[in-house]
Every structure is written in structure tokens, then in C-alpha cells.
Structure 1
Amino acid sequence: MTWRFYPRILASLAMLLATAWGAMALWYQLPMTAAGKSASIALWCLLASTLLIALWRLRPWIAICGYLSLFALLQVWWSSLEPSNHRVWTDDLIKMTYGRADGSQVTLHNVRNFDWRSDEDYDARWETRRYDLDRLASIDLATSYWGMPAIAHVLVSFGFDDGRFLVFSVEIRKERGERYSEIGGFFKQFELSIVATDERDALRVRTNVRGEDVYLYRVNMPPDAMRELFLSYLEQANQLNKTARFYNTVTANCTTIVFDMMRQIVSGLPFDYRLLLTGYLPGYLQDVGGLEQSFSLQELRQRGRITERARRAGDDTDFSRLIREGVPGW
């Protein structure tokens, strides 16, 4: 094989990758039945394959220009897809948290406080709450696992010296009938939402209803940084209320959104693969000095596993204290 074939090989690989991406985009975004989507993808692949064959049998620049034109048309359609705050949402995400800060006093609207019996059986409550940031006393990181050890949902809980806890969670905003898909998260399938919840809602639904495994870690953070992070969540939530945004499995998820906020507060935070493999995020926090340094990561994980304590606590009004028994730093 002479060197003159290498550009065609590279062009072929690029066309194959672009064709695969286009097929996935069509599958996740075309407003059609499965049969209609399959037919559209078959047509897309047929056109792309024809141009790929032409790359080797005709003058390469003709095939490349033809493919670029075809892909440009797909990009015009892709760019026309806009996020929206107006869809038929599931009950637990039908509202979005928003609020305002007046000095140290914060008023939050649409704080979720559901009483969950199952994913289909619950008492829905949305509340307006007020918090004094001068009384902000702690931050905890919760990681919730449902299968793979490398993947977890990340929640941040703010504790106040009056015993109240408020959890902020970056969520995909599911429509009725939708299910979470990591692959769909790359293809504009979901909008992004930030919801503030009572701790008995956000953590208990994961341990007691959905069967997830939850770990709690006390985070070392100066009071000023805790306050700034709380206000950053508020600002992000207000922005999402005004302007919808797509969720993305890598670039806009429950960890990267928080990391972007933290980089504005704490300079020099390094980027790390564990920000993408969220199940390993506690190790990253320990390495940057964010967790209790007198314990190993294994000890923090063992003592921070709150799953069984949460199941025993149930709907006890002292839920937050009971799940923290034995957690280092408490």
C-alpha cells in the first residue's frame, strides 16, 4: 500500500464515525415511530455508503464534497433542536427550584418535599422555604449507586445550625414515560434541571424506594466557600428557569456542573477523569483535601455508607441525624 492511499483511509474512518454519530442522532431525536426512525437511518446509511464507495472508485474530492454537503444538512437540522422548559414532565420534576438572596437571607421556591412510598405512589409537596446563610454550618457529598461502581449520581447537602438540611441535585428533567439513558444524554434527549429538596426526600427515595446504595462524605470547606457554593446553585437554578439547557452525559451532568461552580470559588482545581466517572469522585475530593484527612478512603466509604441506616430511619423526623451516625466528621 502506497502513501497516497492513507488520506483515503483517514477520510473513510472519519466518514464512518460521522455516519454512526448521525444514525444515533436520528434515532434519539426524530419525532417518529421506531419504524420511521429505522427507515430514516437506513436511508442515511445508504447515502453515506454510496459516497464512501465513491471515495475509492471516483475522484476522492467529489465524494468528500458530497459527504460534507450531506453532513452539513444533518447539522442544520441538529442545530435547530432547542431545549425547552415546556414539556409534559414527571411529577417529581414538574417544577424547578428558583429563589432570591437578600443579604444572608435566601428565599427558595419549589423546594421538593415528597413523601415517597414507591416511584408511582407518593404525596407531592412543593414548598417555599427561607434560609439564613449566616447559619450555614456544613456541606456533605452524597454518591448514589445503582449498578456500575464507576457511575453514581452526586448530590450536595447543605446543613444549618438549626438542624435543617437542604439538598441540591442536578437532574435530567424527564418527560412522562422517559427513562434515563447514558447514550441518549449525548444526543439532546433530556433537559437539565436543578432541584432543591428536603433531605428525607432526595436521599430516602434512593435508598428506600429505588434500591440504590448511598454514601455520605463530610466535605471540608471554609464558611465563605460554602456560602458561595450555595449562592452558585441558586444562580444556576434561576438561569435554568429563564433559559432551558440540554443535559449532556459528559459536559453538563451532576458532577461537571458542580465542578464548574467550584472552580469559580477555589482556584487551581485540577481536571480529572474521576469528574467523568462519578462513582470515583470521593477519591478525587480526598486527593484535593476536601475530605477528612485522618481516614483512608476505604474507611470513609465504609463508615459513610448510609443505605441501611436510611432504611431503618424510614420517615423518622430525625432522619438526617440518624443517617449520620458514624460518618467521619460528624
Structure 2
Amino acid sequence: MISYFVYVYIILKPSNDKAWELEFQTPSTVEFIDEDRVKINHIHDWEYTDEFQTSVRYFDETYNMKNLRRVWFVLEPFSKWQAVAHTYFVFDFQYQEPIAFSIEARREVNEAYSGGAGLVGGYELYYSWGTERDFTGKRAYRDNATLYMYPLKLSGSRMINLFKTLAEETNTLADHPRFYNTLFDNCTNELAKIVRKANPAALPWYSLYVLPGYADYFLYDHGYIDTRLSKNELRQMYNITDIVRQNYKEGFSDAIRDVISVAVLP
């Protein structure tokens, strides 16, 4: 055990300068224009067929945080073990297309993901911003994953604090790389740390941060997801998988919001 900590935390050093897989070569950065506006650089906007990407595109866009209207929490359970999942946020702005924020294990060329490698400094962390078409479309349409997308019950100030803190942490990681860890620095507990930094009283510590497949139930229990539905109804109502697949080519963002707004949003 001692040798493990010496190796991972003393000998190994995280780096941004490696031969990265294509999807991890261009990290996002953020420019703070004034107290309300930020410019996000290198927003991922790839397109896909049901097997692979057909275009690689990035763009920059300026957002006024006062125009932030809603935050969504997206859960992608892994099919082999439902207690493990990927999670990310989607932000809705007035007058602009939604933008997503995701935390990943940054892989090098020809490197596959392994939970074991993630325990011993096998990957750096990767914070990225992307379009909903890219991040959600990739998972549901290309990867054939199941997705649940929940509107969070947050005040306007908490939404802004969350978005701003994610933007700040994006730049911090770009300047100071850190290792991904399968248990302690994964997509979900990294998000939780940032949420707690943005709003210290927002979330108590949750033991299943290391096993995030039931993070939606945790948010439900703490009032961040609509409790008018029972837990048994929750995933059935917020399963967006078929909507994305059926509307991918025409655009699915409006279709998701049309279905959910009619069903559950106040």
C-alpha cells in the first residue's frame, strides 16, 4: 500500500504533453470577459454516424450567465454494472443552443479505458465543453448507450455559481494537470467537488460518489430532482435514449425539452 502511494503521488507526475487520442487533443479553455460574460474556446461539436464520427469540429462562443435558464444532470449507466456510470451537466441558455460540460479520463493514442489503470495514474483528467449534439448524441446514437436527463431544481444564483465555477476549474486544470482516479477523482465525484465549491452547502458527502450509477436517486432524495414522481417512475420519465436516436439527424434538443416539459416541468 505504501509503495502504491509513493508511486502514484510522488513518482508519477501528470502532464498535458502526451500523444493524446484525437478526442482529447483539444481541451476547452475559458476567457472571462466581465462579471457576466465568458467566452468558451474549443467547444467540441463532432458529428457521428451510428459507428464513428464523420466530422471533427470545434468553435468558440460567448455566453452571458444572466441568460442561463436551466441545468440538466445526465446519467449514463454502464450496462455491465449499473452502479457505475458516467455523468455530466447540460446548460440551457436563452437565445443559444445548450452547452454540456463533461469530465473524462484523458486517453493517449491506442489506449483503452481500464478501471485498474485509473487507480494507478494511468490517465490524466480532462474537462471539456461541448454541444449537446456531440456529447449526448455520441453516447445515445453512436455508442448505443442508455441516457437519463434530469432538470435540476436550482435557483438562478446557484446555476450561475455552478457554471462560473466549472469555467474557473476548466482553466485551473489546463494550467495544472491532475490524475484521474477510478474511485476518488472520477467524472461524478469531480463534479460533486466543483458543486460543493460553487455552493458549499449544496451536497453532503455521498459514499456512492465512487459508484455513481445511482446518483440520480441521491439527487432525488435531496430535492434536486422533481419529487412529484416516485423513484420507480423517475427513470422511465427521464429516459431520453429513444428521443435522441430518432431525432439525431434533425436535431434532438428541442424534442427532449418538448417531451419533458409537457410531462413534468412546472
Same fold, judged at TM 0.5 (above): yes
Q: Note the C-alpha offset of 1:95.
A: 0.8
Q: Note the C-alpha offset of 1:268.
A: 6.0
Deviation per CA, 1:259-305: give whole Å up to 9, x if none: 11222314162212232221100011011110112111222210110
Does the CA-based 8 Å contact 2:8-2:121 persist in structure 1?
Answer: no
Deviation per CA, 1:211-232: give whole Å up to 9, x if none: 1110010100011110111111
Deviation per CA, 1:70-106: give whole Å up to 9, x if none: xxxx936862210110111111111111112222111
Q: 1:108 aligns with which of 30, 40, 43?
A: 40
Structure 1, unmatched stretches of 5+, are: 1-17, 26-73
Secondary structure in 1 aligned to 2:187?
coil
Q: 1:133 aligns with which of 58, 65, 68?
A: 65
Secondary structure in 2 aligned to 1:192?
strand
After superposition, the Cα gap between the structure-2 partners of 1:298 and 1:326, relative to the gap in structure 1 and judged at 3 Å, is farther
Partners of 1:119 and 1:137 lie apart in 2 by 33
Per the alignment, residue 174 of structure 2 pairs with: 241
Moved more, 200-209 or 264-273: 264-273
Partners of 2:189 and 2:8 lie apart in 1 by 27
Deviation per CA, 1:16-45: give whole Å up to 9, x if none: xx4xx86xx6xxxxxxxxxxxxxxxxxxxx
Name the one with the larger helix percent. Answer: 1
Please give the TM-score of this superposition, normalised by the length of structure 1: 0.75
Please give the TM-score of this superposition, normalised by the length of structure 2: 0.92
Per the alignment, residue 244 of structure 2 pairs with: 310
Q: 2:135 aligns with which of 184, 202, 212?
A: 202
Q: Note the C-alpha offset of 1:325.
A: 3.7
1:99 aligns with 2:30: yes
Q: 1:168 aligns with which of 101, 106, 115?
A: 101
Partners of 2:224 and 2:245 lie apart in 1 by 28
Q: 1:182 aligns with which of 94, 112, 115?
A: 115
Structure 2, unmatched stretches of 5+, are: none
Q: Note the C-alpha offset of 1:324.
A: 3.0
Letter in 1 for 2:249: D
Does the CA-based 8 Å contact 1:303-1:326 persist in structure 2?
Answer: no
Per the alignment, residue 322 of structure 1 pairs with: 255
Q: Note the C-alpha offset of 1:120.
A: 4.3
Counting aligned pairs with the same residue, the percent is 26
Figure out how many residues of one structure are paired with residues of the other and give that number. 260
1:296 aligns with 2:230: yes
After superposition, the Cα gap between the structure-2 partners of 1:196 and 1:173, relative to the gap in structure 1 and judged at 3 Å, is same
Which structure ranks higher in relative contact order (CA pairs < 8 Å, sequence separation ≥ 6)? 2
Name the one with the larger strand percent. Answer: 2
- Two-structure CA RMSD over aligned residues (Å): 1.9
Greater Rg by CA:
1
